[in-house]
Structure formats: C-alpha cells, structure tokens
Amino acid sequence: MNLKIVKIGNPILRGKTSPIPAKRLASLSLKGLIKDMVSTMRHAQGVGLAANQVDQGLRVMVMECRGNKRYPRVASFPLQVYLNPKITHYSTRREKGWEGCLSIPGFRGLVPRSSKITFEALTLEGRKVRRTVSGFEARVVQHEVDHLNGFFYVDRMPDFRSWTHLEEFNRKYRLNIRDRRR
C-alpha cells in the first residue's frame, strides 16, 4: 500500500521520533509499515524514506537506489531497512552534492555532507549492524537520519543561493525529472 508522504510544515517532520523497542521487532505492524514504506519510496521514485515522512514518529528508514529516475547520475545501492540508526563517525572531508526531498517536492539544493560515515542500526531481524559507507550512499544515510531527528536538507545548506526549482535544475543539467506531488 502506498502511503501519503507528508510535506514540510507538518509538525511531525520537526518532532522527535521514538526508537523501536526490541519487543516490537517481530511485530506484524512494523513489518507492514516497512513494506508500505518501501512501496511508497519506489512509487515516488525516492532513494530514501524516513517513517516520519509517512506520519509515523518511529526511528525507521528505508533506502534504495537502482537506476533511479530522480537521481540518474549517482552510484547505485541495494534496498536497505534500518531501525534506530545512529551515525557514529563523520569524515572531516565533506563534499557538496545536489539533494531533493519527497517532503519538499519540486526543488533541489547543494548540500555539503561528510563524504564517508559509519553508522549503527538494527535490521528488521533484530541484528545489530555497523556499516561504513561513502559517496551518495553516505549522503542518503545522513539525509534520512536527519529526518528522524527533525531536520531537512535545507537546514544543512550554508548558502541558499543554490536552491533551485526542478524546472531550472532540469534545464541546467538537460534532465527531465518530475517529483510526484502526492
């Protein structure tokens, strides 16, 4: 089932999200939510989605990038589901890259992010994982963990002059990206 993606301005996107307790890991409701988050992300052609973007104040995120139409010139990564993610290390080296957000449709902005990060999380099976990722994948993890902490990419832009309407972004890069508005 595709869920409605809430937009910037909705208080849930600025609020706190709750960690998933160990006893909820096997619950059908959590599995159902994650299944719906994955289909919602794919339908909206997103590369990541945080639970509060579908109106659930829980520390759950999904991400995937395979031949993505909204991000055509980035490295792929497989579907991943993380509960209670926490970034434990940020590289001092940072790089600027374009980001959009399903909760702010129709815009892109240049955001500096650590080029490499380490994070810890639980899988849906309750296994604790620690991963080090770099490049676009590291950018997506930082973007989604930011959502779970009530931040948007626009909060991370030191210079708002790069903020670009998708129409102008498409013209600049000769692309034809469309963000879904629902």
Residue numbers at the binding site for Ni ion (CB under 5 A): 101
Residue among 64, 99, 137, 144 flagged as catalytic: 144
Contact 119, 87 (CB under 8 A): yes
Query: Which residues touch 117 (CB under 8 Å, ≥6 apart)?
Result: 87, 89, 90, 91, 132, 133, 134, 138, 141, 142
CA distance 172 to 176: 11
Least Å distance between CB 143 and Ni ion? 6
Instruction: Please give the structure tokens belonging to residue 165.
Output: 């309407």
Least Å distance between CB 112 and Ni ion? 16
Contact 178, 102 (CB under 8 A): no
Which CB, 101 or 111, lies closer to Ni ion? 101
Catalytic residue check, 99: no
Least Å distance between CB 16 and Ni ion? 17
Least Å distance between CB 53 and Ni ion? 7
CB-nearest residue to Ni ion: 101
Helices marked H in the chain — which ranges?
Answer: 28-43, 135-148, 166-173
CA distance 118 to 124: 19
Which CB, 61 or 122, lies closer to Ni ion? 61
Which CB, 25 or 179, lies closer to Ni ion? 179
The torsion defined by the Cα of 55, 137, 99 and 72, in degrees rounded to 10, comes to -110
Which CB, 21 or 145, lies closer to Ni ion? 145
List active site positions. 144
